[in-house]
Amino acid sequence: MTTSRPTSPAFGRDVTLAGAAREFVRHPSPWIIGGLLAGALTIRLVLGGWTWADALVPVVMAALFPVLEWLIHVFVLHWRPKRIAGITIDPLLARKHRAHHGDPRNIPLDFIPTPVFVWLVPLLLATALLGFPRVELGLTFLIVITALGLAYEWTHFLIHTDYKPTSAPYRATWRHHRNHHYRNEHYWFTVTSSGTADRVFGTEPDPDAVEKSPTAKRLHGLDVAGA
């Protein structure tokens, strides 16, 4: 298993946002997502033809993003391996997430695994090009989803560093995700927000009323070998 760099600017008593950012850009995921964002934004600006729908797409997507986070976290990342017709179904994302729970301070495990982009990028491009009545609107979707994805990667990474929360919104988000890792993995599934989808789906209890889970670092009681 890959381990965190002992001299990483993301760890220590005096971690700054600049130091965390220096570590953040050392990893492939931000560059892949950022490159897709830059490309979509450039083409969208060249095409023009802005309408009211281009303003509506970001609002709708921002409102739905916590729900998407919750669904992916619960049903994909926390997937329990299943044996069907003699074949074990245990996707890479689930295996890597179990490894992440096992070692929350392992920096590379904070990010979307690079092999996932082999299918994720074509899926996003196909959705943008085929899922909207106009290619311009599809590009607006691609801009927003990649911007949200970049925000997700940054927030998730930062929470797992030693950077101390200084604002109330980030402090709440930081505490929310830390509860998921260090108190009970069955609750607090959103990452970039607190008090949103978890409240809707009933997975945001009072932390003091929840027992500390013995499997928070071993999801489903499984080892992380092969992750």
Answer whether 197's CB lies under 8 Å from 173's CB.
Answer: no
Answer whether 58's CB lies under 8 Å from 141's CB.
Answer: no
**Which residues partner with 221 through β-bridges?**
none
Query: DSSP label at 22?
Result: H
Radius of gyration of the chain (CA): 19
Token pair 């911007």 in the structure block, residue = 147
CA atoms within 13 A on the CB side of 7: 0
Distance CA 97, CA 82 (A): 16
Query: DSSP label at 210?
Result: S
What's the confidence (pLDDT) of residue 222?
Answer: 85
Per-residue pLDDT of the chain (227 residues; tens, 9 = 90+): 444 455 688 898 889 999 999 999 999 999 999 999 999 999 999 999 999 999 999 999 999 999 999 999 999 999 999 999 999 999 999 999 999 999 999 999 999 999 999 999 999 999 999 999 999 999 999 999 999 999 999 999 999 999 999 999 999 999 999 999 999 999 999 999 999 999 999 999 999 999 999 999 999 998 765 44
What's the confidence (pLDDT) of residue 177?
Answer: 98
Dihedral sign, Cα of residue 122, residue 83, residue 222, residue 174: positive
| DSSP SS3 for 84 | strand
What's the confidence (pLDDT) of residue 223?
Answer: 76
What's the confidence (pLDDT) of residue 12?
Answer: 83
What's the confidence (pLDDT) of residue 199?
Answer: 97
Distance of CA 134 to the CA centre of its chain: 28
What's the confidence (pLDDT) of residue 1?
Answer: 43
What's the confidence (pLDDT) of residue 6?
Answer: 52
Answer whether 62's CB lies under 8 Å from 148's CB.
Answer: yes
**Which residues partner with 89 through β-bridges?**
82
Distance CA 71, CA 189 (A): 9
Distance CA 203, CA 187 (A): 5
Answer whether 145's CB lies under 8 Å from 124's CB.
Answer: yes
198 burial (CB, 10 Å; 0-12 / 13-18 / 19+) is buried
